[in-house]
Amino acid sequence: MKKIESTRRDPAFNLAFEEYMVRNTGSDEVLIVWRDSPAVVCGRFQNVFRETDVIAARERGVPVLRRITGGGTVYHDEGNVNVSYITRKGPDGIDTLLLPEKLAAALGRIGIPAEVGGGSDVTAGGYKISGSARAAVGDREIHHATLLFDTDLDALRSLTSSVSGDAFVSGGIASRKSPVANISAFLPGTSTDEFVGAVKAALGGAYGWQTEDGFDLFAVSDLAGKYASDGRTYGENPKFAFSGKCETARGSLTLSYESGKGAIIAVRAEGAFAEQINKLAGAPLAPGATHRALTEAGVAEPDAVLLERFILTGKT
């Protein structure tokens, strides 16, 4: 088994490294442990606008990315430890519990009362401490899990709560919310670095680990460009419909639109700014890009800021 700890904290690089390894490695098994700087990471087929406040994320300087595996939206920071496990596809399809069971056993060996529960989560003391998701790629499969060790739970809750479930009426795989806790509560006085060392030893042994530097970093960096792009996060958003109402300086606006491939396909606005907003068919849906489209349609500041927030989050 190849055992790798990525020394990088760039979420786009690490998501790309995961994909690169599942597509290119010849090893029967690969284990990757990594951490990211703060980022919101949504599942492969989620409606990112329903899962996170993309405007709030931009204001906090937190990138929003779309990973290769399914499942729900998670928050990464340096207190969250990611584990990826790559193996050959089994004859009975992807084993949902493969990685959660490995993680629960490993955590048990380092003194945490962990058990598999709530689907493919790992829990301790009744709280979710790890979530996981998977993807089949060719003849291989990748299993990815988070381990909440010392994550900023306030940031996690504020950035991964549903934005406005009423406004986004369809589209994509919805996240399932669970009460979460940090593993550090079970290991007082332990640093995240010490925890990572313990997890590595419990999952793959203390020796034989390498870093990402032994691989084709040019190829990974190319792929990272894709993960960091609006085309990936927003352009690959599933089809959805939006319906909502807001108050503006010029009165009420009632808006409905349909979206596909990261753009507005059809739009119908009534009330304030209706003339300008009804020109948005074909406009991209992404922070910044939607603002530019509003400006080009003739909406001035500060109304463009308010309307972009409403279009992308369902609230003002």
Partner 1 sequence: MKITVTMPELKKGMTSAVLCRWNVEEGQQVKKGFELFETETEKAVSAVEAEQDLTVLRLLADEGDEVAVGAPLFEAETAE
Binding site for partner 1 (CB under 8 A): 43-45, 68-72, 92-94, 96, 119-120, 132-137, 170-173, 238-239
* Cα pseudo-dihedral 315, 67, 229, 47, rounded to 10: -30
Structure tokens at 19: 């994909």
- Closest CB 133 distance from partner 1, rounded Å: 4
**Which CB atom, from 24 or from 252, has the smaller least distance to partner 1?**
24
Structure tokens at 78: 């340096």
- Closest CB 167 distance from partner 1, rounded Å: 17
Quote the CA–CA distance of 305 and 292 in Å, as a whole number: 10
H-helix or E-strand spanning residue 133: strand 132-137
Of 159, 114, 145, nearest to 34 by C-alpha is 145
- Closest CB 138 distance from partner 1, rounded Å: 9
**Which CB atom, from 71 or from 287, has the smaller least distance to partner 1?**
71
**Which CB atom, from 100 or from 204, has the smaller least distance to partner 1?**
100
- Closest CB 99 distance from partner 1, rounded Å: 11
Quote the CA–CA distance of 89 and 229 in Å, as a whole number: 30
Integer-rounded Cα radius of gyration of the chain: 21
- Closest CB 235 distance from partner 1, rounded Å: 13
H-helix or E-strand spanning residue 42: strand 39-42
- Closest CB 249 distance from partner 1, rounded Å: 36
**Which CB atom, from 104 or from 307, has the smaller least distance to partner 1?**
104
CB-CB neighbours of 59 under 10 Å: 10
Bridge-based pairing state of the strands 132-137 and 209-210: unpaired
- Closest CB 56 distance from partner 1, rounded Å: 25
**Which CB atom, from 88 or from 250, has the smaller least distance to partner 1?**
88
Task: Provide the residue type at 125 as one letter.
Answer: G
**Which CB atom, from 132 or from 192, has the smaller least distance to partner 1?**
132
Quote the CA–CA distance of 106 and 200 in Å, as a whole number: 9
**Which CB atom, from 99 or from 220, has the smaller least distance to partner 1?**
99
Grouping H, G, I as helix, E, B as strand and the rest as coil, residue 311 is: helix
Of 266, 268, 262, nearest to 239 by C-alpha is 262
First to last CA, the chain: 50
